Homo-oligomer: A and B are copies of this chain.
Amino acid sequence: MSDQGYRPPFYLGIDLGGTSIKSGVVDGDWRPLPKPAASVDTPTSRVKSIHDEALDALQRAADHAIEASGLAWSDIEAVGVGSPGTMDIPAGLLLEPPNLPGWEHFPIREVVADRLNKPTTLQNDANAAAYAEYRAGVGRGTRSLVMFTLGTGIGGGIIEDGRIISGRHSHGAECGHIIIQMEDARRCPCGGLGHLEAYASATALVKRAHEALDRGEESALRARAAERHLTARIIDEAAEAGDALATRLMRETAHYLAVGAVTLIHTIDPDIVVFGGGMTAAGPSFLDAIRAGIRAMAFPVPAARVRVEYAELGPDAGFIGAAGCARQEREATITVGG
């Protein structure tokens, strides 16, 4: 790989998702090899524990990534795994991740370390994505970053002075589950009331569109809703085409996200707030609406200075960040040990 200038240290990242496991190597300059990541299907089972199959799948994904990178396993310093919750990060243990049936109580860090014979780090996937944007994406050069990942739900990651806030009970940076409304509040899929995710996820946006249509509001969205084809993307496209209801729904979504961002600006006060995930396909006008809300609601000094941007790395952020977490942990250990 020397003709492309990749240079050590090399870390392998594994991004464990409900449908696929993506893996790739990141070089000393945080460049991914390969890009896009190598991928294998995620085995799941609703009837039994499948820890052996799970480990085999993780190894296959990692082996594919090594092969695609042109490196040897001996070039790899350590392995990072990013996983959806719930988990016990210090124990390296998955608990009961809703999107990974059959993986419950899987001691993932230890078994991956044993199988791949590499020091292994476990991190929440949203925290890993935030770390990737901080190191290799739109947050390069900053010291603190708050990230919202907008998809079916809303994930989050917080980097403060270069360190991931994963929380004392591995429940830090659940930025979709901050409370933005107390009275007559919407219920979140997690069961909580008034959470940001209940207002501003793609799922919530579609739900709010159906509610408005059910109230009889006129909109180009009505035909698609009747076909049960309403999606966040379609609502955004209707807004771009000038549909009044769709425009209002997108503007409200931006406002809800700005409210959530202001709460984190008034507590973390980061260099940059980053929005990632599928809903960023809505493009610059949606980002500008979020920015305008933040400028209007945050304290003057951070309102004037905080950067508000879309993420840069797309779906590769998962494995880049997982590898980055492994690197961070290893370098911290070496520093302390040395």
A interface residues (Cβ-Cβ under 8 A, vs B): 86, 143-144, 156, 158, 160-161, 163, 165-175, 177-184, 190, 192-194, 255-256, 259, 262-271, 297, 299, 301-302, 305-306
Q: Are A171 and B259 in contact (CB under 8 A)?
A: no
A177-B299, A297-B192, A301-B86 in contact; A267/B183 too (CB < 8 A)?
Answer: no
Q: Which residues of B contact A169 (CB under 8 A)?
A: 269, 301-302, 305-306
Question: Once bound together, how far apart are the Cα atoms of A256 and B182, in whole Å?
Answer: 8
Chain B residues, CB < 8 A from A144: 168
In the complex, what residues of B have CB within 8 A of residue A259's CB? 179, 182, 194
Q: Is the CB of A182 within 8 A of B179?
A: no
Q: Is the CB of A269 within 8 A of B171?
A: yes
Report B-chain residues with C-beta under 8 Å of the C-beta of A171.
Answer: 265-266, 269, 299, 301-302
- Assembled-state Cα–Cα distance A264/B165 (Å): 12
22 example contacts (A-B, Cβ-Cβ < 8 A) are as follows A165-B268, A167-B268, A167-B269, A167-B302, A168-B305, A169-B306, A170-B301, A171-B266, A171-B302, A172-B268, A173-B269, A174-B266, A174-B269, A174-B299, A178-B266, A180-B181, A181-B181, A181-B182, A182-B256, A182-B259, A190-B299, A194-B259
With beta carbons under 8 angstroms apart, the residue of B163, B165, B181, B297 that contacts A267 is: B165
Which residues of chain B are within 8 angstroms of A172 by Cβ–Cβ distance? 267-269
Tell me, in angstroms, the Cα distance from A338 to B35 when the chains sit together.
41
- Could you say which residues of chain B place their CB within 8 Å of the CB of A168? 143-144, 269-271, 302, 305-306
Interface pair B177/A179, CB less than 8 Å apart: no
The residues of B that contact A179 with a CB separation of less than 8 Å are 180, 259, 262-263, 297
Identify the interface centre among A165, A167, A175, A183: most chain B CB within 10 Å of its CB.
A167
Closest CB-CB distance, A338 to chain B, in whole Å?
13
State how many angstroms separate the Cβ of A146 from the closest Cβ of chain B. Answer: 9
**A297 vs B174: C-alpha distance when bound (angstroms):** 14
Q: Chain B residues near A178 (CB, 8 Å)?
A: 178, 263, 266-267
A267-B299 in contact given A143-B168, A169-B305, A182-B180 (Cβ < 8 Å): no
A172 vs B183: C-alpha distance in the bound complex, in angstroms?
27
Question: Contacts A172-B268, A180-B180 given; 7 further ones with Cβ under 8 A?
Answer: A160-B160, A165-B267, A165-B268, A166-B269, A168-B269, A172-B267, A182-B259
- What chain B residues lie within 8 Å of A269 (beta carbons)? 165-174
Q: Return the contact of A183 from the options B161, B165, B170, B184 (Cβ within 8 A).
A: B184
Contact A165 B160 (CB under 8 A): yes
Question: CB-nearest residue of chain B relative to A144?
Answer: B168
Residues of B within 8 A of A255 (CB): 182
Q: How far is the CA of A264 from the CA of B168 in the complex (A)?
A: 12
B residues near A256, Cβ cutoff 8 Å: 182
